Structure formats: C-alpha cells, structure tokens
Amino acid sequence: MSLRGAERVRVVNRSGRALSEVYFRLYPSAGRLYGPARMELGRVTDDWGRPLDWAEGADASVVRVALPDAWRPGEALMLYLEWRADIPVEGERPWTREQGYGIFRQAKGLTLLAEWFPMLAVYEGEGWRLDAVPDWGDPVYSEIAFYEVWFTAPEGYTVIATGSEVASQASAHGVTHAFLSGPARDFFVALSPSLKVASARVGDISLRSYAYPEHGAAGAEALAAGKDALGVFNARFGPYLYRELDIVEAPLIGLLGMEYPGVVLVSDALHTPAEKWRLDVTTAHEIAHQWWYGVVGNDILREPWLDEALATFSSGVYVQDIMGGEAFRSQYAQWMERYETGQRNGTVGAVTWPVGRFRSSWDYVTTVYYKGAIALQTLRAEIGDDAFFRALRRYYERSRFQVARGQGLLDLLEEEAGRDLDAFFRQWFFSE
C-alpha cells in the first residue's frame, strides 16, 4: 500500500540569523518505533518553481534542503515538496514489537498514518534539532502550525484526522476530504472502511469514539470516559480549545495509547469488558495530552516528564473527580507499587531526565509517568488544591501554543504556593 503527497510550507525565519538551509523530518523512515515504513522525498522547489537540492542526513528521517538565497531573519519562506511512502501491511510480513508501535501501517482494517508528511524540524538556540528517533517514548518534537489538508482515500473509507472536515468531493481517484486544523503540532490521519462511530457533545465540543463493530460497547465506554475526562480537565485546567476530539480503537503494539492533536489512539486490547478500568484511565491519560503536549508543548525528548507526568497525574484527577476517592486510592496504590518495584531494583531515575538517559522503556515509564505523577500528587497535597490548580491553569494559559520549560512550571507552583519549594523539587524531581 502506498501514499503520494505534495505540500506547500510557509515558515518565517525566527532564528535571528540568516540561514542557508532548512531541515525536514520524514519520521516514518527512521525505522525503530515506526517499524519497516519508508518515505521518499521527490521534487523540492521554492515558491518560484526553482528546484532545490536536498540530501538525506545521518539518519534516514533527516532531510536537508539547501536554499539558493540567504533566508533572512523575519522573512517568510515558501517551499513545495513532493513525496511518497510505503505503508507496511500486516500479514505481508511478520510483525513484532521490535518492528515498532504499529502507528504507521495497515492492520485489521485500519490504516494509521503517524507523521505521514515531511515535517519541518525545530530551529532553536544554536541550530536545528535533528534528534534521533528514540526506541521508546514519543519521537516527534514540533512546533505549532496551521494545516490545510486535502486527503484522498478510497470510496467508502472514513477518514479520521486532526482538525475539522470542512468539505468532501468524489472523483475518479476516490473521495477527497478537506480538513482545517486550528493551531496544531502535528496532523494525524487514520482511515478505515469498517470502524463504527459513537458521538457525544461536551459544550461546543464534538467528541467521537471509533471502534470495531464487534466492540461497540467498549467504544461507548471510551466515549463516556472521554466525555467525563473533557469535563474534568475543562474545569480543572482551562478549556479545551478545539471543536472536535476523536478517540480511535487501534491495534497498537506495546502501547496502551498514543496522542495526536485532536485524535487519541487507545489500544484494541483494552476494548473488552474485562479491561474497563484501563480503558477509562488510558482514554483520560491520552485526552489529558491535549492540554499537556497539544496546547502546551514541551521538548518531548529532553523534558518528557512535562507532558507524561502531567498526563498520568491528570488521569488521577479524572478518576478522583468522576469515580471518587476510593477509586483514586487504588490507582495511586498502583503507581506506588510500580515505583517501589523500581526502587527495589535500583532502576528509578530522576523525573526530569531526558528520554535518552533511561536504560529501558520500563525504567522510563516507571520514573517519568509514575514517579512523576506521585511527585505531582504529593506536591498537590503539600501546597493545597487552590494553589496547585491555580498554577496549572496559569501554566496552561501562559504557555499555550508555545514550548514550555519544566523550570517554568516549577516556578509557577512555587509562586502560587507562596513559599520556597527547592528542597521538595530536589527530592522529587531532580534526584534519583
């Protein structure tokens, strides 16, 4: 199965210096957690149609485009790129956890297309961020952009995507769906001829849950959890800023869920009555990422705790506010059990470590998700709900559409607490 695409990118040079090159990431070509996918860049031109030279970087996911003229500070650059990609199909070759999360492939009647287009790399500080894709955690560090997407799929397919579908038209090639996003860090697409949808409204927000036809009850459960989570997070952190949110049952590998702007994936393994608890909590965790990662961005490679600890903590806020104190105590006990197991094994790091410093996915999750959530919950108890949630609301308001820094959040918490928390931060966030 394959994909062909063309994109026009407009970007302003905000680096403060003249640049002679621009970098794109073709993430699915990185292998690792993307599996055996392959993306190939074709023609690249400037706004005048002049062909530009490009070359692959050290990592197959990195492409450097040479600019013929200096790109001056404050100046807008328009580039046109064409590309194609092979979408691996499950069944055509064996698939194991070593072959990635399954986020760029066709399997079980669903095609997941994570990072299916060349994405502009982030320029910051002294240069372009061209980090290798890690073996675990989230791979994509990107900035906010507005997307206008025309996606042509075979007739009879539902196209689930970031943003809102504003038009569709049939042609000889299939059906072209037009989407507009608000400010978004990525544009995710999934397509399927078979998933069934259930929908609900939360205020102005249209919430949808897509599930396999035989998992209708679990799809309805995910929808109910999503509705509750949206309500809790709107009230606790500040309003969700988009019109739509989609929850999608997906055959993920080695993952319970994955977040994209406006779309969250929840593992098909959780879409059974026996997994109701983990389905609810995972749905809430992934939806919390719309606040922590989506609206408030962070450097997911160097400060992964800033979205993962907050999303895990937020799933606890959802449990406590919706299911009550007893349910939350049992969730907290699960966090503690995992953390204490890690402590006994001597594999717990510091919450604020970068993803690359952990020796395994297990250590990373134990530290960043669970110890991180325990740290935030302990701090909440220490400084009180009023100060704690005031700080989070200010963080959400102040950092929206930006890339936040961990120290900025800690400073806000300290400010709202009205006292010095250095010793607490050292113990819970900066120490092993």
**Contacting residues for 165 by C-beta, under 8 A, at least 6 apart:** 159, 177, 178, 179
Q: Which segment (210-218, 305-313, 339-347, 409-417) binds Zn ion by CB under 5 A? A: 305-313
Judged by beta carbon, residue 116 or residue 136, the one nearer Zn ion is: 136
Position closest to Zn ion via CB: 311
- Bridge-partner residues for 297, per DSSP? 403
Number of residues located near Zn ion, criterion CB under 5 A = 2
- Please report how close the Cβ of residue 381 comes to Zn ion at its closest, in angstroms: 23
Q: Is 161 in the site for Zn ion (CB under 5 A)?
A: no
Binding range to Zn ion, per CB under 5 A, among 29-37, 149-157, 271-279, 302-310? 302-310
Of 151 and 188, the one with the shorter C-beta distance to Zn ion is 188
The answer to whether residues 259 and 115 touch, using CB atoms and an 8 Å cutoff, is: no
Diameter of the chain measured on Cα atoms:
66
Residue closer to Zn ion, measured from CB, 281 or 417: 281
Contact window for Zn ion (CB under 5 A) among 102-110, 156-164, 228-236, 300-308: 300-308
Q: How far is the CB of 152 from Zn ion (least distance, A)?
A: 31
User: Does the footprint of Zn ion cover residue 306 (CB under 5 A)?
Assistant: no
Q: Between residues 227 and 285, which has the closer beta carbon with respect to Zn ion? A: 285
Query: Could you tell me if 249 and 210 are in contact, meaning their C-beta atoms sit under 8 angstroms apart?
Result: yes
Q: Which is nearer to Zn ion, 64 or 278 (CB)?
A: 278
CB 293 to Zn ion: min, Å: 8
* CB 291, min distance to Zn ion, A: 12
Q: Which is nearer to Zn ion, 26 or 247 (CB)?
A: 247
Residue 30 as a binder of Zn ion (CB under 5 A): the answer is no
Stretch that binds Zn ion, among 43-51, 248-256, 308-316, 334-342 (CB under 5 A): 308-316
Comparing CB distances to Zn ion, the nearer of 80 and 362 is 362
Q: Does 311 bind Zn ion (CB under 5 A)?
A: yes
If one counts every other C-beta atom within 10 angstroms of the C-beta of residue 144, the result is: 18
Which helix (H) or strand (E) segment holds residue 358: the answer is none
Which stretches of 59-186 are assigned E, i.e. beta strand? 62-71, 76-86, 104-107, 110-113, 119-120, 122-124, 127-129, 145-153, 158-161, 164-171, 174-184
Phi-psi group of 384: left, alpha or beta (phi > 0 → left; psi -120 to 50 → alpha; rest → beta) = left
Cβ count near 276 (within 10 Å): 16
In the complex, minimum distance from the CB of residue 285 to Zn ion, in angstroms, rounded to a whole number? 6
Q: Is 190 in the site for Zn ion (CB under 5 A)?
A: no
Token duo for residue 396:
């959400």
CB of 103 to Zn ion, least distance (A): 13
Q: How far is the CB of 260 from Zn ion (least distance, A)?
A: 11
Contacts of residue 147, defined as CB under 8 A and 6 or more positions apart, other chains included, come to 162, 163, 179, 180, 181, 184, 187
Stretch binding Zn ion (CB under 5 A), from 159-167, 311-319, 332-340, 421-429:
311-319
Q: Is residue 376 involved in binding Zn ion (CB under 5 A)?
A: no
Sole window of 204-212, 223-231, 310-318, 407-415 interacting with Zn ion (rule: CB under 5 A): 310-318
User: Residues 6 or more apart from 292 whose CB is under 8 A from it?
Assistant: 298, 306, 307, 310, 311, 314
Q: How far apart (Å, rounded) are the C-alpha atoms in residues 119 and 130?
A: 12
| Least separation in angstroms between CB 16 and Zn ion | 33
CA distance 291 to 239: 9
Measure the CA–CA gap between 28 and 26, rounded to whole angstroms.
6
Q: Which is nearer to Zn ion, 299 or 308 (CB)?
A: 308
Q: CA 408 to CA 318: how far, in whole Å?
A: 24
- Please say which residue, 191 or 373, places its beta carbon nearer to Zn ion: 373
The yes or no reply on residue 392 touching Zn ion (CB under 5 A) is no
Interface with Zn ion by CB under 5 A: which residues? Answer: 308, 311
